[in-house]
Structure 1
Amino acid sequence: MHIATKAVSISIALAVLGGCSTLQSLNPFASKPAPRNPPAALVEFKPSMTVKTAWSVNVGSAGNALFHPALGGDSVYVAAADGTLARLEADTGRQVWRIKAGMPLTAGVGASADTVAVGAAGGVVLAFSADGKQRWKAQASSEILGSPAVSQGLVIVRSIDNRIVAFDADSGIRKWQLQRNAPALALRSAPGIAVDSQSAYVGLPGGRLVSLSLLNGGPRWEVAVGDPRGATELERISDVSGTPLLLGRDVCAVAYQGRLGCVDAASGATRWAKEFSSEVGLGADERYVYGADDRGNVSALTRDAGVSVWRNTTLANRRLATPVALGRTVAVGDYQGYMHFLSPEDGALMARVASDGSRVIGTPIVAGSSLIFQTQAGTVAALRAE
C-alpha cells in the first residue's frame, strides 16, 4: 500500500521505517520473514472456454503509476512513465503513431474521439489531438495520479491536494475548480472521474463521493462511501477506489476500509450499500456488480439490491485489478500478469491467460469483443474469447 500524507512528521516516520527495512535487507545474516498473507497458488481447473491473445504490443514501463488504456472512437490510447504516448487500432493493435510527450508522465490516459489527455510530472496536464499533435499544456496545483476524464468538451483532473479542475478540451482554458480538504493520511492511489451529460462524479479521500455540475463545478450532492474510523490515522484511511461506475440512473462506488454501494445519480440517495474494502474499482454487467476486495476475493452482487450472489476465494492476496465483464464471463488480472476469467453465474474459473509476468494495472477496457489491458512492465494486450 502506498500512503500519501500532508504531515511532514508522518513523512519522516515513514521514510525512517523504509530505511530500516532497506538496512535489514542488506544484512546477509538477517532472515527474511515470511509474508503475512502469501498469495494463493494458482489452482488447477478444467477450462470451460477458450481465450486467446488477439494482439500484444509494449508501450514502456508504467513505473509506479497506474496507467490504463483509453478508448477513443475505434482507437486505443496508451502511455508510459517515460513520456511515451501511442495510438493503436483497437481491432488489430496496429500502431497509428507513437510520440514522446517531452516529460515523464504520472497519469493517463483520458480520451474522447478527438482529444487525448495525460498527467505529467509536477502537475502538468497535456492534451493532444487524435493525430498526436499537442494542443495545449496547463498547470494543476499538484501531482496528478488518476487519469483525466475527457468528455463533454472538458478535461477534468483531480490532483493529490484534493483540487478538482476542469479545462476546456480545445483551448486548455480553466473553466472551473473545486477545492476539498484532504485528510492527514490517504492512499497514494489513482481514483478516476466518471462523467455523464450533466455531472462529474469524483471519489475523494475520506470515503466521499461527490457529484459536480459540468457547467460550473458546483456540488450537486456528496455522500459517504466509507466512514473513517479507528484508533490510528492508518486505521482511519477510507478512500474511494477506482473510477465511479455509471449504471443507467445509478452511480456505484467502493472504498478502501469502507463500503460498496450504489446511489441515485440525480440525488445521491442511497440505493444499497454493503461493507467492503477494495483498492480498485468496480465492474458490472446487466445483472450484477463485481468487486475485488483487498484480500483477493471476487464478489458478485445484484445491481438492484446489492444481494450477494457468489464469492470466489481462489485468488486470495494476488493483488487483483478491477474486474471487468466481457460477454459471458468476468475477467480480473493479478500481480503476476495473469488474466482470470470467471463465470458470472457462480464465480467458477473458466479460463486463464498469462502475459509478461508483471502486475495488471489500472482498469482494463472492453472494445467490441476484446478485453484490452496494460501491465506494469508495459505490455498492452487484447484478449478474445472463442
Structure 2
Amino acid sequence: MMTKEMKRLPMRLGAALILGSVVIALVACSGSSRVRKPAELTTVTNQFDLQPVWSTSVGSSEGFNFHPIVAGDAVYAASHRGNLVKIDLASGNKVWEASVPERLSVGPGSDGRTTVAVTTKGTVYAYDDTGKQIWKVSVGSEVLSEPVVAGGVVIVRALDNRFVGLDAQTGAKKWTYQRQQSALSLRVGYGMLAIGNEVIVTGFAGGRFGMIAIANGGLVWETPVSFPKGFSEIERLNDVTAKPSMEGEILCAVSYQGRIGCGQARTGNLLWFKDYSSYTGTSQSTDMVFSANDKSYVTAFATKDGTQVWENTQLIYRDVGESLAVGRVLLMGDAQGYIHAFSQANGEMVARIRHDSSPISAAPIAVGGLILIQSQGGKIAAYSPK
C-alpha cells in the first residue's frame, strides 16, 4: 500500500546534491601486510579545463570529513575547530563567519534560513541567516553523519542509531526514530540524501537502506541491498554507509563488502544488484551509475540492468573520494588533492587538475555553472568548466 509520503513524492525528483558520507581508513580484513602503493599518475591531455573562479579557506577537517553545502545563492562550510562560514556563491566572499564554541565532527546542514553544525559531543548549534546563534540542543550521543535541514526540520543521526527531528526555528524535538543496534557496525557517518522537503534516503547497518519521512520520522520503506557473508563478524560487515544517489525515479545504493544495486525510489524495490564493495557511494547519469571500490577501481554500470559498461583501474590505491556525474564527465578527488575527470561514455581519463595537496573525500558539487570542491585541508574553491 502506498503511503502518503510516497504519493507526495514528485514524479521527477532529479539528482540530489545534498550528500552525507565519510572516507573510512580501512585495513584489509585478511590481515595482509601488503603495502598499498598508490598508482603513479600518467600524463593526461586535458580535453577541457576547470578554470579557478574563486577560492578561500574554511579550516582543516583534521581527520573528519566535511562537505560544503549549497542553499540558495550561498555555500556553507565548516572546519573541525568550529569555524562556520557562509560564502557568496558568485564571488567567493564570506557573508558571515561564526565560531562554534566546541570542536565539530561533521560539516554543516542548511536550508538557507537555518544553518546547523554538530560538535564531537553531539551538541547541535543553530544559526539564522545573519550568522546569529538561535539555539543549541544536545542529542545525547556522538554524531558523525551530516545533519539535514529540510521542511522546517533539522534531522540529526546519532551514532547510537537514533534519528532525531528538531524544529529548525526553536530546536524543540519533533520526533525520534530508533534503529536496532547491530552486533558490529562501522563507526562512520552514514550519508542522508534529502529528496525535496518530504523524505530522506539513507543506509543502515546490515546491508539495508530505507526512506524516512521528514515531517514525522516514519519509515516509508526499507530494502536490503546485500546480505552478510563469511564467518567472522568482521567478514560479515556490509553496512550501507555512503550516500545513495538518485536520477529521475531511479535510486542506487552500495554497501561495504556487499553489493551495488538500483531500484524504484517510490517503493525501494530493486531492479538489480551485483556483488561490489564501496564506502564512497554512487553517482548517476541518466542511464548509468558510477562507483569506486576500496582499490579505487572506478566502474560504470547500466542503471536499467546492472550491465558493467566500463572499469578504469588507473587510480588504484589512490583512495579516491565521492564522485559527481555532471554533463558528460565523472569527477572525483583523491588523497593527494587531485581532481580526476573521466568520460562517462567509456571511462577514459579526459582531464586532471590539482586542487591542493590534501585529500579530497567529499563529492564535488555542480551548481550555477560552477564546480565546487572542498579538501580536508580546508580549501574550498569554485571552478568554471571551459
**What are the equivalent positions in structure 2 for 1:1-386 lying under 5 Å apart?**
1-2=24-25, 35-196=34-195, 197-386=197-386
Shift of 1:164: 0.8
Q: Deviations over 1:140-191 (max 9, x none)?
A: 1311111111111111111111111111111111111111122233223222
Cα distance in 2, alignment partners of residues 353 and 200 from structure 1: 33
Q: Answer yes or no: is the 8 Å Cα contact 2:246–2:284 preserved in 1.
A: no
Q: Answer yes or no: is the 8 Å Cα contact 1:141–1:163 preserved in 2.
A: no
Partner of 2:20: none
Q: Aligned with 1:141: secondary structure?
A: coil
The root-mean-square deviation of aligned C-alpha atoms, in Å, is 1.7
Cα distance in 2, alignment partners of residues 104 and 317 from structure 1: 31
Shift of 1:2: 4.8
Cα distance in 1, alignment partners of residues 263 and 172 from structure 2: 32
Comparing 330-339 with 214-223, which one deviates more in the overlay? 214-223
Cα distance in 2, alignment partners of residues 93 and 255 from structure 1: 36
Question: What is the letter of the counterpart of residue 241 of structure 1?
Answer: T
Residue 248 to residue 141, structure 1, CA distance change in 2 (3 Å): farther
Cα distance in 1, alignment partners of residues 288 and 234 from structure 2: 32
Residue 92 to residue 155, structure 1, CA distance change in 2 (3 Å): same
Question: What is the letter of the counterpart of residue 66 of structure 2?
Answer: F
Q: Answer yes or no: is the 8 Å Cα contact 2:151–2:215 preserved in 1.
A: no
Shift of 1:35: 4.9
Q: Deviations over 1:334-377 (max 9, x none)?
A: 00010001111111111111122110022221122222121111
Q: Aligned with 1:240: secondary structure?
A: coil
User: Structure 1-normalised TM-score?
Assistant: 0.88
Cα distance in 2, alignment partners of residues 45 and 60 from structure 1: 31
Comparing 33-42 with 182-191, which one deviates more in the overlay? 33-42
Question: What is the letter of the counterpart of residue 381 of structure 2?
Answer: A
Identical aligned residues as a percent? 36
Q: Answer yes or no: is the 8 Å Cα contact 2:153–2:215 preserved in 1.
A: no
Residue 35 to residue 133, structure 1, CA distance change in 2 (3 Å): farther
Q: Deviations over 1:187-241 (max 9, x none)?
A: 2322221222432212112222121223322222211123122122221111113
Q: Aligned with 2:363: secondary structure?
A: strand
Q: Aligned with 2:350: secondary structure?
A: strand
Q: Answer yes or no: is the 8 Å Cα contact 2:332–2:363 preserved in 1.
A: no
Q: Answer yes or no: is the 8 Å Cα contact 1:280–1:322 preserved in 2.
A: yes
Comparing 250-259 with 332-341, which one deviates more in the overlay? 250-259
Shift of 1:266: 2.0
Residue 248 to residue 301, structure 1, CA distance change in 2 (3 Å): same
Comparing 123-132 with 82-91, which one deviates more in the overlay? 123-132
Cα distance in 2, alignment partners of residues 35 and 375 from structure 1: 28
Question: What is the letter of the counterpart of residue 113 of structure 1?
Answer: G
Q: Deviations over 1:90-139 (max 9, x none)?
A: 22211111110111111122111212122112111122112211122111
Residue 158 to residue 82, structure 1, CA distance change in 2 (3 Å): same
Question: What is the letter of the counterpart of residue 183 of structure 1?
Answer: S
Residue 180 to residue 72, structure 1, CA distance change in 2 (3 Å): same
Q: Answer yes or no: is the 8 Å Cα contact 1:212–1:220 preserved in 2.
A: yes
Comparing 106-115 with 311-320, which one deviates more in the overlay? 106-115
Shift of 1:34: 7.8
Question: What is the letter of the counterpart of residue 286 of structure 1?
Answer: T
Structure 1 alignment gaps of length 5 or more: 4-32
Partner of 1:9: none
Q: Answer yes or no: is the 8 Å Cα contact 1:2–1:187 preserved in 2.
A: no
Aligned length: 357
Larger RCO, structures 1/2 (Cα 8 Å, 6+ apart): 2
Shift of 1:276: 1.3
Cα distance in 2, alignment partners of residues 361 and 292 from structure 1: 12
Which structure has the highest helix share of the two? 1
Comparing 35-44 with 62-71, which one deviates more in the overlay? 35-44
Shift of 1:53: 2.1
Shift of 1:250: 2.8
Structure 2 alignment gaps of length 5 or more: 1-23, 27-31
Q: Aligned with 2:121: secondary structure?
A: helix
Which structure has the highest strand share of the two? 1
Question: What is the letter of the counterpart of residue 114 of structure 1?
Answer: R
